[in-house]
Amino acid sequence: MTEENSLLVQEYAKNPIQNFPLEKYTVKQHEGNFICGDDITVYLVIEKNKIKEYSFDGSCSTITTAAASFLAEFIKGADIQDVLTRTHKTMQEKGFEVSAKRKRAAVIAIMAARNAIHEYLKDGQKDVFDDLLDD
């Protein structure tokens, strides 16, 4: 991880965006990472198949808090079908990079959002970390 990426992670972890439970939401999803002990819940408001609101809370590591906060910058307004294609590579392309050991922490919020959308769609699907760790 470069010094610039390290500073980005530190800033988002220190000053998280949307780090609170929404009181009114369309769907929420809890995910955990037994390897590092992360515990996150993502809340989504979905209208006309677009993400209108997003927030998260839980007991998260610094990387998970930063990644979930970073996700807040580009998930609002997104089409739910687009969110279902987002992966670790998406985070990298948008400028959020972490070491290989921390990739799960970088994608757990996306996985929670994707699984919340699956629940909303009632499509019977459930994403796991391997679905998002494409590199």
CATH number of the CATH domain containing 79 = 3.90.1010.10
Residue 128 lies in a domain: no
The per-residue b/e assignment along 97-106, b for 16 or more CB within 10 angstroms, e otherwise, is bbeeebbbbb
Task: Look at residues 64, 1, 32, 61 and name the one whose alpha carbon lies nearest to residue 129.
Answer: 32
Output the pTM of the full model.
0.93
The pLDDT of residue 97 is 86
Number of domains in the chain: 1
> Are the beta carbons of 56 and 40 closer than 8 angstroms?
yes
Q: Label residue 116 by pLDDT band (50, 70, 90).
A: very high
The pLDDT of residue 130 is 92
Q: Regarding beta strands 50-59 and 38-47, do their DSSP bridges make them parallel or antiparallel, or are they unpaired?
A: antiparallel
Mapped onto helix, strand or coil, the DSSP state of residue 68 is: helix
Interacting residues of 86 by C-beta distance below 8 A, sequence separation 6+: 110, 113, 114, 132
- Chain position carrying tokens 């959020």: 96
Q: Label residue 58 by pLDDT band (50, 70, 90).
A: very high
Residue 55 lies in a domain: yes
Which percentage of the chain shows pLDDT scores above 90? 72
Mean pLDDT across the chain:
92
The pLDDT of residue 131 is 93
User: Domain range holding 105?
Assistant: 3-123
